[in-house]
Amino acid sequence: MKIVAILGSPRAKSNSTALARTILSTAADKGAETSEFLLNKLAYKGCQACETCKTKLDHCVLKDDLTKALEAIKEADAVILTSPNYFGEVSGQFKAFFDRTYSFLNADFTSRLKPGKSFVFIFAQGQPSLEAYTDVYARYEMWLTRYGFSQKHLLRMNGPRPADSVSQRPDLLEEARKIGEALVSL
């Protein structure tokens, strides 16, 4: 079992990153091979809309720090995607990464990825209401389903914004541990 986390917060010790690392740690304790990519530490460009991944290659033409992350997703059985809520949307780092996953689609928009992968989407927001921003997950879930991901987990943190506030949310940490166990048991 290979699990890769794509960490979309610019803060290395963010709440979404802490939740992802809890999942990774739990899964690793159960024997999974885990890895992570902190997007803010990588040098990469967003999609250039060149269409080379549809007309000449079966992967993104750009060669930068994101190349390894995209390859890791192809090889993974499960993918954890994290982002904070910035102005009602994912972070810029996450959006630039996600645009590059366009290369996972063939010219006819069928997926190049092995079907049946699992994904976890972790979204942290300062807004206390979990009713707010549900559209964000729905957009990314649609694309991940198109890519062939079938097992889905959503973990949302709402409320305080300090980077370490998840440590005061044992309910979310326990949910993250349960997700880590569930990923390994598939």
Domain boundaries, the chain: 2-39+77-96+113-184
Is the pLDDT at 163 greater than 80? The verdict is: no
Is the pLDDT at 55 greater than 90? The verdict is: yes
pTM of the complete model beyond 0.85: yes
Residue 154 has a pLDDT of: 95
Give the CA radius of gyration of the chain. Answer: 16
Q: Let me know: does 53 contact 99? Beta carbons within 8 Å.
A: no
Fold assignment, 2-39+77-96+113-184: Rossmann fold (3.40.50)
Within 8 A by CB and 6+ apart from 97, the residues are: 6, 8, 39, 44, 66, 69
**pLDDT band (50, 70, 90) for residue 162:** confident
Q: Let me know: does 4 contact 117? Beta carbons within 8 Å.
A: no
6-10, 108-112, 125-129: the lowest-pLDDT one = 125-129
Higher pLDDT, 163 or 64: 64
**pLDDT band (50, 70, 90) for residue 3:** very high
